[in-house]
Structure 1
Amino acid sequence: MAHGRFDNPVVASMTGILDIFRKQKLSERLTDNDRIDGKTCLVTGANTGLGFAIAVDLAKRGAKVIMACRSQIPEAGEKVKKISGSDNVVMKYLDLSKIDTIHSFVADLKNENITLDFTVLNAGVALPKAKKTASGLDEIFLVNYLSNFILLNLLLNNGIIPNSTISKNKKLEDKPSRVIFISSDSHQKSSFIDHDEFGRYFEYGLKKGMNNYSYYKLVLNTLAVEISKRMNKDTANPDVSFNVICPGPVNTNIVRDAPWLIRMLLKGIFSIFFQSPEKAAKAVSYITISNDFEGKTAAYMHMFNPKEMDYKIYIPEEGIKLWEHSVEVWKRVDENAVLNI
């Protein structure tokens, strides 16, 4: 059975705290002068926490920001406008636990002729036990992995993320659109992907619920590397850039579904030791917009430090099997699956 690195949230938190004290090699590379005026950014899970802070920072830098959220519409968007001083912020409904909303969301973007310069895949959940969705899939598998796979396929197929490989709507003079996966360094030392149990629903309790978070970050990172290969035959001149970042430990409400005692303990640790979302968002903005990542794909940053991901992520056969099994599950649960990559 697949497992993540940590099944004890306190140990995971202590490991995260140590990361804060490590030297951030490239922290001075991002300045207030790094602007993206006229560019369009999508941030999923942008109504609260890290996603909200990312939306604020990108809006301050001149971008049109599309906040894709399942709640707090339009209140969160109005807050982003007020804090950033920009009115170029819109909110759209997207619930990654419901596949039909992904199709509706992408159709809405297409109808408005929106193309994305930057896409930040931030939305995710941490659940203490199994939770079956309407599609029959476990919610953490669907929200933290498969829905990102579906969303990316639809955005690329429809040319909302411009590209020359599938939709063929990218202009020669256009810079590659960038996709950023928000991950966690806790993916390191997670197990190999269990392809036999992949996409199957089964009941589990708190221990596996705890380590599922880091396990599905390894799965997500494997997707980032595999889709980069499929979309970029020439990695030195990428068609679309796909990069990954762990922003470090962030004081958010991600443990809201944990048992009461664990939730109170972790919230105390988070509030005292973890970074604010605003501080963590700076590292995300760096990998998203900086010229340092021009022409780079399948790169990984741990906060402001370049780093290698877990070795399993780079095994070609693992990426191929993940892609094939993702396609199988998508076709099984969604009659509108579109597969061209």
Structure 2
Amino acid sequence: MSDQITEFLKTNYIPITSAAAVGIGLLMLRRYSSGGKCYSDATLNSKVVIVTGANTGIGKETALDLARRGAKVILACRNLEKGEDAAEEIRRKTGSRNVVVKTLDLASLASIRAFADSIIKSEPHLDILINNAGLFYFYSDSRRETSDGFEQVFGTNHLGPFLLTNLLLDLLKKSAPSRIVNVSSSGHAEANINFDDINSTESFEPVAAYCRSKLANILFTKELAERLKGTGVTCYSLHPGFVATDVFRSMPLLLKPLLNVILLLISKNCKDGAQTTIHCAVEESLANESGYYYCDCKQKKPSKAAQDMVAAKKLWKVSAEMVKLDIKQDSAVGIGFMMLRRYSAGGKCYSDATLNGKVVIVTGANTGIGKETALDLAKRGAKVILACRDLAKGEDAAQEIRTKTGNQNVVFKLLDLASLASIRAFADSIIKSEQHLDILINNAGLFVSDRYETSDGFELTFGTNHLGPFLLTNLLLDLLKKSAPSRIVNVSSTAHAGAKINFDDVNATKRFSTHVAYGQSKLANVLFTKELARRLKGTGVTCYSLHPGFVSTEVFRDLAIWARPILYVFLILISKNCKDGAQTSIHCAVEESLANESGYYYSDCKQKKPSAEALNVEDAKRLWKVSADLVKLDTKKD
């Protein structure tokens, strides 16, 4: 048998070695063409990412990778059905439920503006924008126009991303550090921008049109980087490699067999093709680079035409005119409004602390900043107990948070802070069911237009906003001490600054004013926190009070009808959304650098000095004694 094999090898030596050489050559060619790989292990928890054209090809692979890193990924696609299928596939593969689809047709300025408006309204921040979508026509007689009259390749591949990026720039600046990634092509090297016939009305050749649009992507990126210097927003253009994607969907049938042979020999698969996009989106070492061109996860030098800054500036001006990007519409009023909104959005919690194995209670967590706080802490892995007085809303909120986070350890327990009996029953339940309690967030509060009383005879605002949290915290102190290091977070308000504690009529039986009552209750939160910190020194339990910002929440649900229109005007001008409003609560709950701080007051995720009345140690001690007497706090028994 061995002699036969030897004879066969001798007889067929040349064809065998030739086949082996071809095979090795093809293998090396495939390995070379697969390109670089993104090795960054950066996580994107709580980040928001948009990927255009993400229903297929490298866009879908990019979205899949970023979803695995923990980002909320928005698939921006013109085909809603394919987009939903892609989103479901990504959710299934990653376990992330935070993958959504929004309709976007880059060949329609109206669609782009509608999409951008939707994002600005729904997302408090945008961390990464990936302009990935593109198309390529093969027929020489295939010049087509968008609904706005632009040559379709240039309109879709350049003008669409140009307008989309500009419309989202304010949100990206607000979210800095943030990134913009523009997917170009090595085909740019074969092109020049024909400013005399930029819309290809006089002559059209499909390959030239495609290459010109890809050159435009790089010039746009370079000029964008110049304009964004100092803003914290960085931008990158790239060649993904020769990838078998739907960009070739319009190729003539006769040419597809030839294309398939070429693709087999030298093309990347979609996962390999997505690597440079992912690299530009997440690689930490690129944080201080902007405006450069990349290929195979490395910075490369683009063509000479792609480095022409005069052409880049001219292209920007021409593009802005074509898409009717009216910079002047940001008038003094508009700019002032934008700056006011940006200022009022406040600080952001950047801690990436995880809370696996921790137990957290958030009062008033069925709505508003309480729900956003609970949602964030659930994402960090905590067991979150929503303590609410409305059974139906509490259960709905818990289910919503479980769905959004995939954390099944989110539960609802009934708590009415206007009832001492309810507070004692809730505390007893927690002590019996929980082995430890790591974070208590006293978030619930109300603002009423008339004087009402709790079931125990206290003025409703003071009873709910201060006496309720005071009793609840004291009843849970032993469990918090046992669980040290642990934290107590009391949500106050800047309204405390205009208030004083009226010890002669703390229950407002002689005279009642809505604003006075609310301000007094919020001042009580700050004083309670200061005295609590003094009493807890050395126990490992730290406490914090805070102003969340002016937030449009249900705290104003009992406001007089006549006052609501006035309130709504203020809310439109200066209010935070609930997610922004929750940031300081989250910061005080998880920020590692606060571990050795206690008793301080915070706003916009920074320690701030409260009012002089809030620093009065004697008032803090007196308020504690009065409060303990009112709620019948038996320190020996409780």
TM-score (norm 1): 0.81
Q: Give, in angstroms, the shift of residue 88 of structure 1.
A: 1.0
Matched residues in 2 for 1:22 and 1:100: separation?
A: 39
Q: Residues 95-140 of structure 1, C-alpha deviation per residue, up to 9 Å, x if partnerless?
A: 0111110011011111213421111100000012211222111110
Aligned equivalent of 1:176: 177
Aligned to 1:10: none
- Matched residue, 1:198: 198
Q: Report the counterpart of residue 144 of structure 1 in structure 2.
A: 157
* Residue type at the aligned position of 1:127: Y
Partner of 1:228: 225
Q: Who is 1:44 aligned against?
A: 52
User: In structure 1, the residue corresponding to 2:197 is in which secondary structure?
Assistant: coil
SS of equivalent to 1:251: coil
Residue of structure 1 in register with 2:326 after alignment: 338
Q: Separation in 1 of the partners of 2:144 and 2:279?
A: 35
Is 1:64 the equivalent of 2:61? Answer: no
Aligned to 2:274, the other structure's residue is in SS state helix
Please show how residues 29-178 of structure 1 align to structure 2 within 5 Å: 30-31=39-40, 33-71=41-79, 72-128=82-138, 129-156=142-169, 159-161=170-172, 163=173, 169=174, 175-178=176-179
Residues 254-306 of structure 1 deviation map (CA, whole Å, 9 limit, x = unaligned):
11111111233213422453111112222221111010111210121111222
Tell me how far apart the structure 1 counterparts of residues 72 and 256 of structure 2 sit (CA, whole Å).
35
- Equivalent residue pairs, number: 297
Distance 1:198 1:59, change over 3 A: same
Question: C-alpha distance in 2, partners of 1:251/1:258?
Answer: 12
Q: Secondary structure at the match of 1:245?
A: strand
Q: 1:254 aligned to 247, 254, 268, which one?
A: 247
Q: Counterpart of 1:326 in 2: which secondary structure? A: helix
Q: Does the residue aligned with 2:280 lie in a helix, a strand or coil?
A: helix
Q: Is the 8 A contact 1:228 1:298 kept in 2?
A: yes
Question: Which ranges in structure 1 are unaligned for 5 or more consecutive residues?
Answer: 1-16, 164-168, 332-336
- The answer to whether structure 1 residue 319 and structure 2 residue 350 are counterparts is no
Query: Structure 1's 201 and 83: CA in aligned 2 closer, same or farther, altered over 3 A?
Result: farther
**Cα deviation, residue 242, structure 1:** 0.9
Greater relative contact order (Cα 8 A, min sep 6): structure 1 or 2? 1
Q: How does 1:274-313 map to 2 (within 5 A)?
A: 274-313=267-306
How far does the alpha carbon of each residue in 1:233-261 deviate from its partner, in whole angstroms, 9 at most, with x for none? x5xxx531011111111121211111111
Percent identity of the aligned residues? 29
| Structure number having the greater helix percentage | 2
Structure 1 residues 339 and 267: CA distance shift in structure 2, 3 A: farther
Distance 1:99 1:23, change over 3 A: closer
Distance in structure 2 (CA, Å) of the matches to 1:263 and 1:22: 20
Q: How far off its partner does 1:330 sit?
A: 1.7
Asked if 1:217 corresponds to 2:214, the answer is yes
Aligned partners of 1:214 and 1:35: how far apart in 2?
Answer: 34
TM-score w.r.t. structure 2 length? 0.44
Change in 2 beyond 3 A, CA 1:310/1:35: same
Q: Is the 8 A contact 1:43 1:119 kept in 2?
A: yes
Q: Secondary structure at the match of 1:65?
A: strand
The Cα shift of 1:316 comes to 2.2
8 Å CA contact 1:247, 1:281 repeated in 2: yes
Whole-angstrom distance in 2 between the partners of 1:114 and 1:263: 45
Any gaps of 5 or more consecutive residues in structure 2? 1-27, 331-638
> Is contact 2:54-2:75 (8 Å) kept?
yes
1:33-85, CA deviations, whole angstroms, 9 ceiling, x for partnerless residues?
Answer: 32211111110000001101100011011111000001113212111111222
Question: How far, CA to CA, are the matches of 1:194 and 1:34 in structure 2?
Answer: 41
Please give the secondary structure, in 2, of the residue aligned with 1:73.
helix
Q: Shift of residue 313 of structure 1?
A: 2.2
Secondary structure of the equivalent of 1:196?
A: helix
* CA deviations over 1:202-258 (Å, ceiling 9, x no partner): 563xxx1123222211111101101111121x5xxx531011111111121211111
Contact 1:30–1:282 (Cα < 8 Å) also in 2: no
Bigger shift: residues 108-117 or 66-75: 108-117
Report the counterpart of residue 14 of structure 1 in structure 2.
none
CA contact (8 A) 2:184 2:218 kept: yes
Task: Quote the Cα distance in structure 2 between the aligned partners of 1:202 and 1:112.
Answer: 43
Aligned residue type for 1:255: F
Aligned-pair Cα RMSD in Å:
2.2
Aligned partner of 1:245: which letter?
Answer: L
Distance 1:278 1:23 in 2: 9
- Equivalent residue, structure 2, for 1:166: none
Using the alignment, how far apart are the partners of 1:122 and 1:281 within structure 2?
Answer: 10
